[in-house]
A and B are shown apart, each in its own frame.
Chain A
Amino acid sequence: MVGIPSRHRSLFLLGGVIVLQVLLLAVQIKRDSQGRLIRVWTVGAVSPFERAGAHGIGSIRNAWNHYFALQNTSRENEELRRENDALKLQITQLQSKAAEADRLAALLKFRQTNVDVPMVSARVIGCCVDSASQTIDLDRGERDGIRRNMGVITPDGVVGKVIEAYQDTAQVLLLTDKDSGVGAMLADSGIQKPVGGTGESLLVMKYVPNEDDVSTGQRVVTSGMDRIFPRDLPVGTIAEIKAGNTFKQIRVRPAANLERLQEVFVLLTLKPLEIKQDSRAPASQAATPGAPASAANNPAAAEKP
């Protein structure tokens, strides 16, 4: 044997002969689950290389696809971006429709609760909210029975009153306008004081003496004394209280979301009305000890102006 020292030849020969006989054995031996031993060994010997090869080819293919073969990627990115924008727009539209459906459901429920109250629903088609005046425009007018000084509400609470009625549209002065006002009272104590706008997002409750017990969070409802709004419509909740010289400075957060009005109800009468409140009204209101019976809770106790 060339290249092998003579003293090691027999050792190499021994190794070769043994390997041959082991292979001979492996060809004959059959394992129940895995077949012939030679096959098991062959697969075991080859599979690491196969795995390594597959991994290597996969890596090369991956690198090629992600780093070199990018001629269509820019176009695809652009298409995907456009598609993404379209889908975002679609989602926004769907969310808007879902919100609108919720609003309309609330309106319908309110309308069904007060089916005997003459009112018409109107959509807000414009607004001119500025520091000088806060008004909105409705898509209903005199043709629909709307007249000046009619009250405008939502299921959440008072919105304002009609200041101009045209043939097909009407203009509404929001409660937050500094010239606006509503006869109100504290739901808990029954203290009746006017609430007016300041031109800002919060209203003010006027003429409440410093001695009167008023706390933040108290509900303010209509008193019916202005002969525009019926009793017990939500006006808002007390947000801030400061002591003044004679009267408290009370700021009220409007119950209706006056900054995002979309649909409203116009009360089609100038006569006093009785509004049935939704069952969503807080239970604490009805359960408050010492509170005067309201028209909603006890219609018989409602004061007829």
Chain B
Amino acid sequence: MNINDTFDIRSGEMHIEVHKFRAGAIFLAAGLALVLQAFLPVYLPKAAILDLPLLITIYFGLSRRNPSTGLLLGMVIGILQDSLSGPTVPLGLYGIAKTFIGYLASSIGARLDTEHPAARFALTIIFFGAHQGLIVLTERLLLSQPEPWFTIHLGIAALINAVVAVFLFMLLDRLRKS
């Protein structure tokens, strides 16, 4: 249990603290993730396996613990990612998936302790899978593109993103107001 958390003895419920961030930290982190997502693969093709906007959405969803702001942040990041992804990706594909992820992360963050690295690792894998599932579902239903639900590549990508998330989230913890 985090040192900032409190425990109500009468109801037995755990009250988890909502973290605040420095002014502009969220926008700065989201913008940087989008830029890196678009910029890095040009010079480092293997970096395309990372989904930095997704990790940012997960982190701020888990930390802010407000479903409304979480889903709105996910929507904005997702639509911006759609915009940067070129003409083959219609606006809304990543937007829908990240909206859901933002909502889920915020909802789960309000109920679970998500500060431990192991929890973050596991949650990132779950959210990565859910994110990918939502994208495939959208592609199948709306775009008539029968993409596979799971591949080895996706499994490896989930693990790598989870590992990166553990360290990235620690880095982002420094942006919190003390």
Contact = CB atoms under 8 A, between A and B. Distances in A.
Interface of A: 9-11, 13-14, 17-18, 21-22, 24-26, 28-29, 31, 37
B99 A25 contact: no
A18 to B, nearest CB: 6
Interface in B71-130: 71-72, 75, 79, 90-93, 95-96, 99-100, 103, 106-107
Interface stretch (B9-17, B19-27, B138-146): B138-146
A29 to B, nearest CB: 6
Chain A interface helix/strand/loop/mixed: helix
A11 B72 CA distance: 12
Nearest to B66: A10
B106 to A, nearest CB: 8
Contacts of B53: none
Interface residues of B, number: 22
Nearest to B89: A28
Interface centre among A18, A24, A25, A31 (most CB of B within 10 A): A25
Given A10-B103, A18-B96, A29 B142 contact: yes
B68 interface: yes
A13 B67 CA distance: 9
Contacts of A22: 92, 96, 142
A37 B145 CA distance: 14
Given A13-B71, A14-B67, A25 B90 contact: yes
B143 to A, nearest CB: 6
Q: Nearest 8 pairs between A and B by C-beta? A: A10-B67, A25-B92, A21-B92, A28-B90, A24-B92, A10-B68, A21-B95, A21-B96
A36 to B, nearest CB: 11
Contact of A14 (B66, B71, B79, B91): B71
Interface in B57-76: 66-68, 71-72, 75
A168 B53 CA distance: 122
A25 B91 contact: yes
A9 B142 contact: no
A25 B71 contact: no
Given A11-B67, A18-B100, A21-B99, 8 more contacts: A9-B68, A10-B68, A10-B103, A13-B67, A13-B71, A21-B95, A24-B92, A29-B143
Given A17-B75, A18-B96, A25 B142 contact: yes
Interface centre among A18, A21, A29 (most CB of B within 10 A): A21
B71 A17 contact: yes
B94 to A, nearest CB: 10
Contacts of A18: 96, 99-100
Contacts of B138: 25
Nearest to A7: B67
Contact of A29 (B66, B75, B90, B99): B90
Nearest to B96: A21
A9 B92 CA distance: 22
B103 A14 contact: yes
B68 A13 contact: yes
Nearest to B69: A10
A26 B75 contact: no
Contacts of B107: 10
20 contacts: A10-B67, A10-B103, A10-B107, A13-B68, A13-B71, A14-B100, A21-B96, A21-B99, A22-B92, A22-B96, A22-B142, A25-B90, A25-B92, A25-B138, A25-B142, A26-B142, A28-B91, A28-B92, A29-B90, A31-B144
Contacts of A10: 66-68, 71, 103, 106-107
B96 to A, nearest CB: 5
A11 to B, nearest CB: 8
A196 B95 CA distance: 113
Contacts of A9: 68
Contacts of A13: 67-68, 71-72
Nearest to B87: A28
